[in-house]
Amino acid sequence: MSHAATIYRLGIKELWSLARDPMMLVLIAYTFTVSIYVAATAMPETLHKAPIAIVDEDASPLSIRIATAFYPPRFNPPAMIPLDRIDTGMDAGDYTFVLDIPPDFQRDVLAGRSPAIQLNVDATRMSQAFTGSSYVQQMVLGEVNEFVQRYRASPEWPVELALRARFNPNLEQSWFGALMEIINNVTMLSVILTGAALIREREHGTIDHLLAMPVTPAEIMLSKVWSMGLVVLLAATIALVFVVQGILRVPIAGSLVLFLVAAGLHLFATTSMAIFMATLARSMPQFGMLAVLILLPLQLLSGNSTPRESMPELVQNLMLAAPTTHFVAASQAILFRGAGLAVVWPQFLTLGLIGAVLFTIALNRFRRTISQMA
């Protein structure tokens, strides 16, 4: 039982150390408040103030009608440009969309000749190009249809498509942004805090001290795992309750407790990983660089910010070994889609397994290297 007592005491010591490290406290506070707020609010809606230009070769009531259909916030007021400005304007990146309304457009429409409007899209601007172009298309056709309907009735389409988005009916970016940031921050903060806790001992020379006491490496490591894990869990809970639900008014679909269980399993894996990384790095700056090289792939390729299925197969398979992939899958299911344990248990199981493997590897390395750290 004395093992548990030692692990507890050492963990409390870690909490004191953290409490007196202003840099880290600021980091925790920042990641779980401001950064969530920014992530939730800074992400613009997909189509926001998209720059558009129109070449009106027709100058008819219909072409003018089309031009007036574009206005903020979705589009910037359209720039009316001559034909020869299309290429230069698009090359310079001034416009994402350029509509070219051909001469005699209105006449041809009314004559039922079904004339074509050319829509130029700058396809290097992925985020606007795809959704934007179908939007522009709908709007132009809508205007034309309405215009035409004043002159002749068109047959009504018999099949309607009732398209609804589940879990986020209005597709609000802030819902996604806020929760995504929390999931990311759980990983990032746990790695940085735990790594820093070990490196701090190393830089202050206190490892020496610990080793001269009746304390085993496993106890030292476990004490850091539980204390730093607890801090992250606590911070995440506060952020979910007060920042996400309170200030941002983003609903959480599933059970908060279930999410915390997932996070707990995940933290076991990430804190172990952090200990491993801290044994590789000799100083805080080295640890920082290592963290950049390891955390960025873990986060970006986990499927949290962009869907996994659009990544190459090799990347998808490699990332199955990363705890973040499973944590992200479980968290998204719980937080966004209200999934219960019946749905997410496979992820829980995998997380537990990965955690156990990482812990064993890290502990072995920690045992081997701890004497050289002193």
Partner 1 sequence: MSAGLITSAPALPVSDPPGPDAPAPVASLIDVSLRYGKVVALDDITLDIPAGRMVGLLGPDGVGKSSLLALLAGARAVQQGRVQALAGDMGSRRHRRRVCPHIAYMPQGLGRNLYPTLSVEENLQFFGRLFGHQAAERRRRIDELTRDTGLTPFLARPAGKLSGGMKQKLALCCALIHDPDLLILDEPTTGVDPLARAQFWDLIARIRTGRPGMSVIVATAYMDEAQGFDWLVAMNAGRVLATGTPAELLARTGTDSLDAAFIALLPEALQRGHRAVSIPPLVAGDQTEIAIAAKDLTKRFGDFTAVDHVNLAIRQGEIFGFIGSNGSNGCGKSTTMKMLTGLLPASEGSASLFGAPVDPKDIATRRRVGYMSQSFSLYSELTVRQNLVLHARLFQLPPATIPARVAEMIRRFGLEASVDALPDRLPLGIRQRLSLAVAMVHRPELLILDEPTSGVDPIARDSLWQLMIDLARNDQVTIFISTHFMNEAGRCDRIALMHAGRVLVTGVPAELVSQRGVDALEQAFIGYLKDAGASGAATSEDAVQAPPPVVEPAAPPKRRFPFSLGRAWSYSLRETLELQRDPMRATMALLGTAILMFVFGYGISLDVENLSYAVLDRDQTGLSRNYALNLAGSRYFIEHAPITDDADLDRRMRAGELALAIEIPQGFARDLARGHQVQIGAWVDGAMPVRAETVRGYVLGMHQGWLQDQATHRLGQDAAAGPATIATRFRYNPDVRSLPAMVPAVIPMLLLMIPAMLTALSVVREKELGSIINLYVTPVTRSEFLLGKQLPYVVLAMLNFALMTLLAVTVFGVPVKGSLLALTAGALLFVIFSTGFGLFASTFTRSQIAAMFVAMIGTIIPAVQFAGMLNPVSSLEGVGYLIGQVYPATYFLTISRGVFNKGLDFVGLEPAFWPLALAVPVILGLSILLLKKQET
If binding is defined by CB under 8 A, does position 61 make contact with partner 1? no
Contacts of 154 (CB under 8 A, 6+ apart): 145, 148
Residue carrying structure tokens 């200030």: 247
Encoded tokens for 132? 């934007």
Q: Please, which residue, 149 or 356, has the CB nearer to partner 1?
A: 149
Q: Which helix (H) or strand (E) holds 56?
A: strand 52-56
Question: CA dist 193 to 17, 207, 232, 273, 370, Å?
Answer: 11, 17, 9, 12, 19
293 binds partner 1 (CB under 8 A): yes
Among 53, 232, 263, 329, binds partner 1 (CB under 8 A): 329
The yes or no reply on residue 77 touching partner 1 (CB under 8 A) is no
User: What residues between 231 and 260 interact with partner 1 by CB under 8 A?
Assistant: none
Q: Quick one: tokens of 210?
A: 């610990």
Among residues 228, 236, 230, the alpha carbon closest in space to that of 196 is found at 228
Residue 33 makes contact with partner 1 by CB under 8 A: no
Interaction of residue 69 with partner 1, rule CB under 8 A: no
Is 325 a binder of partner 1 (CB under 8 A)?
A: no
Of 32, 37, 70, 105, which lies in the binding site for partner 1, with binding defined by CB under 8 A?
Answer: 105
Pairing relation of β-strands 97-101 and 52-56?
parallel
Instruction: Decide if residue 315 touches partner 1 (CB under 8 A).
Output: yes
Q: Is 130 in the site for partner 1 (CB under 8 A)?
A: yes
Return the residues of window 41-60 that contact partner 1 according to CB under 8 A: 42, 44, 46, 48-51
Q: How many chain residues are in contact with partner 1, going by CB under 8 A?
A: 124
The answer to whether 28 and 235 have CB atoms below 8 angstroms apart is yes
Q: Which is nearer to partner 1, 2 or 82 (CB)?
A: 2
Question: Which residues, numbered 355-374, are part of the site for partner 1 (CB under 8 A)?
Answer: 371, 374
Residue type, 213: M
Kindly state whether residue 336 participates in binding partner 1, applying the rule CB under 8 A.
Answer: yes
Is 321 a binder of partner 1 (CB under 8 A)? no
Q: How far is the CB of 143 from partner 1 (least distance, A)?
A: 9
Which one, 129 or 238, has the nearer CB to partner 1?
129
Structure letter (DSSP) for residue 172:
-
**Least distance (Å) between residue 353 CB and partner 1:** 19
- According to the binding rule CB under 8 A, does residue 167 interact with partner 1? yes
Q: Does 341 bind partner 1 (CB under 8 A)?
A: no
CB 186 within 8 A of CB 252: no
Using left for φ > 0, alpha for ψ between -120 and 50, and beta otherwise, residue 258 falls in: alpha
Closest approach of partner 1 to the CB of residue 121, in Å: 5
CB of residue 314 to partner 1, shortest distance in Å: 9
Cβ proximity of 363 and 221 under 8 Å: yes
CB neighbour list of residue 248: distance below 8 Å, 6 or more residues apart: 36, 37, 40, 41, 174, 178
Residue 351 CB, shortest distance to partner 1, in Å, is 16
Q: Closest distance between partner 1 and the C-beta of residue 337, in Å?
A: 4
Report helix, strand or coil for 80.
strand
Tokens 């041809």 correspond to what residue? Answer: 108
Residue 317 binds partner 1 (CB under 8 A): no
CA distance 79 to 94: 10
Nearer Cβ to partner 1, position 288 or 352? 288
**Taking the complex as a whole, how short is the minimal distance between the CB of residue 264 and partner 1, in angstroms?**
21
Residue 215, interface with partner 1 (CB under 8 A)? yes
315: tokens are 């990347």
Q: Are 148 and 107 in contact (CB under 8 A)?
A: no
Binding flag, residue 124, partner 1 (CB under 8 A): yes
